[in-house]
Structure 1
Amino acid sequence: MGINRYIDHTLLKPEATQKQIEKLIQEAIDYNFMSVMVNPYWVVYASERLKDNDVKVATVIGFPLGANTTGIKVLEAQQAIKDGAQEIDMVQNIGELKAGHLDKVTADITAVVRLAHAQDVLVKVIIETALLTEDEITTASKLVAQAGADFVKTSTGFATRGASLNDIKLMYNAVGDTISIKASGGIHSLKDAEAMINMGAARLGTSSSVAIVTGK
């Protein structure tokens, strides 16, 4: 598989304009990236533009803090799917994970997973590794797998750092091949991308997608 098909071509900045979203979509078409990752507001626009293309439309739920109520996350996911989202990247309840309230974390994820899977929509769960200890990364990854999600994902890109190779190693050791891993944040070059894939990542979230595939 070419490196391009690992990439969720991402633009989640709050100040993103339609012109910038259109550029993102056109680049995804030109380079045949796996998906465009946009905020929920842009899902309808992206879905219309990509209706005759195999580039998927992905969006974020409970983003970037993960502190929405479960009910709101479910409603947000429901609307996104109605609007055309084919993949959902939700943020776990980070505070509850750190507090050790694991049943609440699992229930939060499971509610979104059940809704999405009933409509054949893939779910990735962002655990925000920058805010977790190594033990918490391991625990969170296992919970994501137990909740039935398709991917465990490192980062929102809005915390103190993005993905690290150690994050991927810890996540892979926790889940093995039971679910997939997405590395996101801080991936700026082909060298970065290949290192993440070699460590176990099956998907990459980056805004440097064109530079990665062209070397420019």
Structure 2
Amino acid sequence: MPAPGGLDPAGAGPLRSDLEVIASLVREGTRVLDLGCADGTLLQMLIDRKQVTARGVEITYEGVLSCVSRGIPVDHADLDRGLGDYPDNSFDYVILSQTLQAVHKPDLVIREMLRVGRVGIVSFPNFGYWYVRTRLLLTGRMPKSDYLPFEWYDTPNIHLCTISDFVELCRKQKIVIDKALYLNDGRRIRWFPNLLAKVAVFVVRRP
């Protein structure tokens, strides 16, 4: 899966801030599945830092080849078709970083990730960020920014959502939110995150 949020997963520049946060949330020696793992940057970091048993799922051939070149086990698959090849509770963590908004069935993907994993970690760009709201209001056009750089006609982002939208989805699906972290260029946002945060990271699980 390409980096839908427009943030570089390959590390050609500063490492994406949400990846650092996600890595800090994973315990050492655990089993980790990364959905939409791109080139395997996050999994490689978790292997090096946390000695995890890692596996990725990626839809692009470029991403799959990059993971293979790193020696990371990866499955070439479409997340919208579900995770039927994986048994229940087969991973300690299932990660969905900057990919939720690029799948056709976000609710299905989240249900599946919590079926195969004990804990889910989800990050996504916040479409409720004040700059996005202002650009839409003032220009009447789909906004672009450093973390949403695409034109409306070529964007991989097909289900953009706000932080409040995601919280409501979790409520409807009876998903427990254990932790929520909000970021703006690497800084933690503690007040009015739906307005002031560019990116959100949620730790979720089944009841």
Q: Identify whether the pair has TM-score above 0.5, normalized to the shorter chain.
A: no
Greater relative contact order, per chain length (Cα 8 Å cut-off, separation 6+): 2
Q: Which structure is higher in strand share?
A: 2
TM-score (structure 2 length as normaliser):
0.35
Q: Which structure is higher in helix share?
A: 1
TM-score (structure 1 length as normaliser):
0.34
